[in-house]
Amino acid sequence: MAVDQVHDPDYQAFIRKVRRLLDLDLGGYKPEQMRRRLHALATRHGAPNLAVFADVMEKDVEAMNAFKNFFTINVSEFLRDASRWNELQQKVLPRLMQSGNRRGLRIWSAGCSIGAEPYSVAMLLEESAPGQQHSIMATDIDETILARAQAGRGYQESDLRQVSAERRARFFSKEPDGWAVKPALKSRIRFLKQDLLTQVPQQDLDLIVCRNVVIYFTEDAKKGLYERMYRALRPGGFLFVGGTEIVAGARDLGLGPVWTSFYEKGGYRQAGAA
């Protein structure tokens, strides 16, 4: 018989310990998926159950880092799903820049991982409006991966496979251990630690990029997140999600699907419209 996830004492003890150690609430994540994968992680560290693994994490830095790496799914690359980024550059950004009354756009990259997505946004903005100042904030819950993103170096060929030779020459430099973002581009982004399930960093945003982040969130957690993002967007602002993601109940929230992966606050044109 399957274990009742809500009343599983090992899992509940693990949730409490993680909340105390990391100020991280796992209650918004799908328990059936999290519990199964966490048991595999605990076994690799010699723990017979999650309650014991929580004690191991408290004493063993390696086990704690393994949990952080497991929990934050840092799979990313520059301009991932290139056709969607082309639409961002050709359709969304020009529209935002035309409709905005401010000097520059206000953009949030949520769950930025290794920094590929905020740097991708910065590249497209520099190509579209050279020299114009925009506010780009990038957040993640994992301090280690956030530090790597802020450093902006050590990227491998697999991270840059969608980046053309021209863009590499303009925005990157080759180093012995990989590729590094050039300082001029790196300086355009502010990196901050943040828990998506509890925080939205600012309001009146033009664009929120949140792609392939919510895969393990419960439906209630997703709904709450998208509600907060809706409130954070200015009227006419856009939410940019992953290529296979659909915002359930978007119209009820006030987010209109405009093109594949793009939702506009108050926008209700059919996907594919010009």
Q: What are the residue boundaries of the structural domains of the chain, listed by start?
A: 9-71, 82-265
Q: What is the pLDDT of residue 124?
A: 97
| pTM of the predicted structure, to 2 decimals | 0.78
CB burial class (10 A; 0-12, 13-18, 19+) of residue 71? buried
Q: What is the pLDDT of residue 1?
A: 34
Q: What is the pLDDT of residue 274?
A: 39
Select from 59, 50, 31, 25 the least CA-distant residue to 141: 25
Cα gap 106→133, rounded to integer Å: 10
Phi, psi of 179 (to 5 degrees): -110, 150
Q: What is the pLDDT of residue 273?
A: 42
The token pair at 17 is 């310990």
The token pair at 40 is 């595999």
Select from 205, 221, 204, 202 the least CA-distant residue to 213: 221
The per-residue pLDDT string of the chain (274 residues; one tens digit each, 9 = 90 and over) reads: 344 445 678 888 888 888 787 767 777 777 777 787 788 888 888 888 888 888 888 888 888 877 876 665 555 789 999 999 999 999 999 999 987 556 789 999 999 999 999 999 999 999 998 888 899 999 998 888 899 999 999 999 999 999 999 999 999 999 999 999 999 999 999 999 998 888 776 789 999 999 988 877 888 989 999 999 999 999 999 999 988 888 989 999 999 999 999 999 986 544 444 3
Q: What is the pLDDT of residue 51?
A: 84
The answer to whether the CB of 242 falls within 8 A of the CB of 258 is: no
Cα gap 193→191, rounded to integer Å: 7
Q: What is the pLDDT of residue 143?
A: 86
The token pair at 145 is 């991966």
DSSP three-state, residue 50: helix
Select from 36, 52, 11 the least CA-distant residue to 216: 36
Q: Which CATH class is domain 82-265?
A: alpha beta
